[in-house]
């Protein structure tokens, strides 16, 4: 299928984006027509069908304002901000969600799954200060030297990660903090994610 859009169709797409940015919701046919400077809502309807046919948008039949921008343009839905994590609970339990931030995941690699509010100054030498938000990619594996979100017993911390056969060493990025050594045979340790 030929996905190239005409000049006018690009203007239509832009008008839809502007409407979403302005009101928080996609426009109706008449709103869109007004934004485009035409007097008939049907002109907008025709444009929408053309755009849907080319895959630039998706139309939800029978729903008011049922216009969705194609995935590549809109996927930056938003990430939850996690505050303090209570002991013994999974990080992503809904109760911990403090807020939502719209971040473009493509700015990071690998893509983050949530934002963790960091408490304490143990990582300040790599620019992670008390109260900062750290973008975290949820994973159970990490390589030596990476910055990880780890759970020791019931506590969640952010540190630089090193492992050997039966031990894990977590180093802070602040000379005031001692490296932490965990014996995997006696202590409960789990990786929650990777700082990105």
Identify which of residues 29 and 171 has a Cβ nearer to DNA in the complex: 29
Identify which of residues 24 and 62 has a Cβ nearer to DNA in the complex: 62
159 is catalytic: yes
122 is catalytic: yes
* Backbone phi, psi, residue 47, to 5°: -60, -45
Could you say which of 122, 140, 164, 171 is catalytic? Answer: 122
Residue 25's contacts (CB-CB under 8 Å, 6 or more residues apart) are: 19, 65
Q: Which of 192, 164, 169, 194 is nearest to 182 (CA)?
A: 169
Stretch that binds its own copies, among 37-45, 98-106, 147-155, 164-172 (CB under 8 A): 98-106
Q: Per rule CB under 8 A, is residue 117 in the interface with its own copies?
A: no
**Which positions lie near its own copies, rule CB under 8 A?**
14, 17, 20-26, 28, 60, 64-69, 73-74, 76-78, 94, 97, 99-104, 107
């Amino acid at each position: 299928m030929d996905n190239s859009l005409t000049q006018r169709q690009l203007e239509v797409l832009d008008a839809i984006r502007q409407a979403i940015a302005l009101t928080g919701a996609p426009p109706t046919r008449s709103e869109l027509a007004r934004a485009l400077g035409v007097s008939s809502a049907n002109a907008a309807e025709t444009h929408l069908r053309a755009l849907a046919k080319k895959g630039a948008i998706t139309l939800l039949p029978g729903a008011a304002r049922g216009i969705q921008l194609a995935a590549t343009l809109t996927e930056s839905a938003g990430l939850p901000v996690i505050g303090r994590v209570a002991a013994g609970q999974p990080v992503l339990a809904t109760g911990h969600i403090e807020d939502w931030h719209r971040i473009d995941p493509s700015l990071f690699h690998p893509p983050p799954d949530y934002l963790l509010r960091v408490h304490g100054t143990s990582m300040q030498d790599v620019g992670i200060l008390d109260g900062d938000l750290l973008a975290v990619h949820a994973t159970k594996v990490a390589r030596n030297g990476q910055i990880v979100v780890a759970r020791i017993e019931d506590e969640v911390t952010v540190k630089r990660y090193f492992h050997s056969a039966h031990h894990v060493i977590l180093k802070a990025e602040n000379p005031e903090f001692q490296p932490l050594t965990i014996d995997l045979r006696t202590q409960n340790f789990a990786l929650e994610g990777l700082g990105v």
